Amino acid sequence: MNKPLSYKFLSCFIVFVLLVGALVAFFLYLKGEWRFEYDVQLTNLEVCQYSLASNSYQPVESRNVSQDIDNIYICGTIQTSSKVPLVFIVFNLDRDKLAFIESKERYESGNFNVKIDFINGKKLGNYNIKVYFHRNLLAEQKFTITGD
């Protein structure tokens, strides 16, 4: 008994879609964009400022940031075997409000620097930085913006 042409077309289409999907998944796996398992570790997390004199990001001592500092950065060191998406959240502890969120980039092993663009401007008070990989909290750091 011969199957109608529509069944043959449908079965060829399904095989084609599965094959293309498998090739895309394999390509992403080879590029390191998609993996079955990730290994990621944040070995250092600091609040930093950029120093023109040394052309580098310097940790702020005792995590007390002067309000006069123009740009504040989250900086640290990550160890991973592939590119990983990280989410940085800064929360104002005094006002119970979100102050900053960043989740645009994928990070490789090495140092990273993320500029904090405060949502409602930089305000005096206590802040908490949290770094997430998917839904897993990797690191947390508190700092204070002072009027000095």
Assess whether 132 and 59 both reside in one domain.
Answer: yes
Assess whether 24 and 51 both reside in one domain.
Answer: no
pLDDT of residue 91: 93
Assess whether 71 and 126 both reside in one domain.
Answer: yes
pLDDT of residue 31: 66
Number of domains in the chain: 2
Torsions phi, psi for 115 (to 5 deg): -70, 135
Summarised one tens digit per residue, pLDDT across range 108-143 is 899 999 999 998 888 999 999 999 988 889 999 999
Assess whether 11 and 60 both reside in one domain.
Answer: no
Pick the closest to residue 129 from 80, 60, 82, 70 (CA basis): 60
Please give the residue range of the domain that contains residue 2: 1-34
pLDDT of residue 105: 79
Cα–Cα distances in angstroms (integers) from residue 101 to residues 36, 39, 58, 105, in the given order: 26, 23, 22, 12
pLDDT of residue 93: 93
Mention every residue, 6+ apart, whose C-beta is less than 8 A from residue 85: 103, 105, 106, 107, 133, 134
Q: Is the pTM of this model over 0.75?
A: no
Q: What is the CATH number of the domain that holds 47?
A: 2.60.40.1930
Kindly tell me the burial class for residue 88, based on how many C-beta atoms sit within 10 Å of its own C-beta (0-12, 13-18, 19 or more): buried
Assess whether 5 and 55 both reside in one domain.
Answer: no
Assess whether 20 and 55 both reside in one domain.
Answer: no
Q: Half-sphere exposure (CA, 13 Å, Cβ side) for 38?
A: 23
Summarised one tens digit per residue, pLDDT across range 32-54 is 555 555 688 898 999 999 888 88
Assess whether 74 and 14 both reside in one domain.
Answer: no
The more confidently predicted of residues 71 and 5 is: 71
pLDDT of residue 25: 74
Assess whether 76 and 125 both reside in one domain.
Answer: yes
Assess whether 111 and 132 both reside in one domain.
Answer: yes
The more confidently predicted of residues 67 and 30 is: 67
Q: Of how many residues is the chain composed?
A: 148
Assess whether 49 and 112 both reside in one domain.
Answer: yes
Summarised one tens digit per residue, pLDDT across range 70-105 is 889 999 999 988 788 899 999 999 888 898 888 877
Assess whether 51 and 94 both reside in one domain.
Answer: yes
Assess whether 70 and 119 both reside in one domain.
Answer: yes
Provide the token pair at 59: 């940790």
